[in-house]
């Protein structure tokens, strides 16, 4: 590990959301040694069809990292059912200085046994799936509990990334990066959280997630049963 240039392992998997990863990657890449990790070096398709090239494999990924990061996405179910991906996540998370995620990536951390007794965030539509995996769901954009730092849905990745960077290299470096990225959000509509959006819009968006939510529920239930020995 390096205090001056932290080592970061960012897990990839088919169907992750590219913005979950790109937000923190944009924040960290000037300052950190980043490894994009997948089983092979073949391109990994995100849930929007964009393809990302891994930089290292499961076998070759450094085991001694400062930050383990897992993105979320509609492919989270695939990651939850991937024993090799969960095993690597558990291995890296056991020694990483910071164990982190954005969106439903926290479910993968939970599935790997890394959130037992920790407060954690995730996308608002999937918060109820954290408890069966041992975590306490928190409705905050970035949740810090000891060395676990988890972000809410998708766009929380930049807020999350800056929070982690401040932990790693200090607030001054994080402030420099925020200004360099001109991160000064001013959304055109004040409906970016269920509390602000109103029940009708929340119901519409939740309905769009019904199919994926059901798949994740099944995967989480299977993992929870395995954890309890059922």
Would you say residue 1 has pLDDT above 50? no
Residue 146 lies in a domain: yes
pLDDT averaged over every residue in the chain: 95
Assigned domain for 210 exists: yes
pTM of the model: 0.95
| Res 101 pLDDT > 50 | yes
Q: With beta carbons less than 8 A apart as the criterion, state whether 38 and 54 touch.
A: yes
Region 24-31 average pLDDT = 98
Does position 40 have pLDDT exceeding 90, yes or no? yes
Q: Is residue 2 assigned to a domain?
A: no
Distance CA 8, CA 100 (A): 10
159 lies in some domain:
yes
CA torsion angle for 17, 139, 170, 165 (degrees, to 10)? -10
- Choosing from 10, 70, 103, 174, the catalytic residue is 103
pLDDT at 62 over 60: yes
Domain count, the chain: 1
Query: Which range marks the domain in which residue 121 is found?
Result: 7-229
How many Å separate Cα 228 from the centre of its chain? 24
Per-residue pLDDT at 2 exceeds 70: no
What is the per-residue pLDDT for 230?
A: 53
- Active-site residue flag, 191: no
With a cut of 70, say whether residue 180 has pLDDT above it: yes
Domain containing 125 — which CATH number?
Answer: 3.40.50.880
């Amino acid at each position: 590990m390096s205090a001056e240039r932290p080592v970061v392992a960012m897990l990839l998997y088919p169907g992750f959301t590219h913005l979950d990863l790109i937000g923190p990657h944009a924040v960290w890449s000037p300052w950190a040694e980043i490894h994009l990790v997948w089983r092979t070096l073949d391109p990994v398709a995100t849930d929007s069809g964009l393809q990302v090239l891994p930089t290292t494999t499961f076998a070759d990924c450094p085991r001694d990292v400062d930050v383990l990061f897992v993105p979320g996405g509609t492919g989270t179910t695939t990651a939850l059912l991937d024993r090799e991906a969960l095993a690597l996540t558990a291995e890296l998370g056991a020694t990483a200085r910071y164990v982190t995620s954005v969106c439903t990536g926290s479910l993968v951390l939970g599935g790997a046994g890394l959130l037992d007794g920790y407060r954690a965030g995730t996308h608002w539509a999937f918060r109820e799936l954290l408890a069966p995996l041992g975590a306490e769901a928190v409705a905050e954009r970035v949740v810090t509990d000891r060395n676990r730092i988890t972000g809410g849905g998708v766009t929380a990745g930049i807020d999350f990334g800056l929070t982690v960077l401040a932990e790693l290299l200090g607030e001054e470096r994080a402030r420099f990066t925020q200004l360099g990225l001109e991160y000064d959000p001013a959304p055109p509509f004040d409906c970016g959280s269920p509390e602000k959006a109103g029940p009708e819009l929340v119901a519409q968006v939740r309905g769009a997630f019904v199919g994926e939510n059901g798949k994740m529920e099944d995967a989480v239930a299977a993992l929870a049963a395995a954890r309890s020995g059922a």
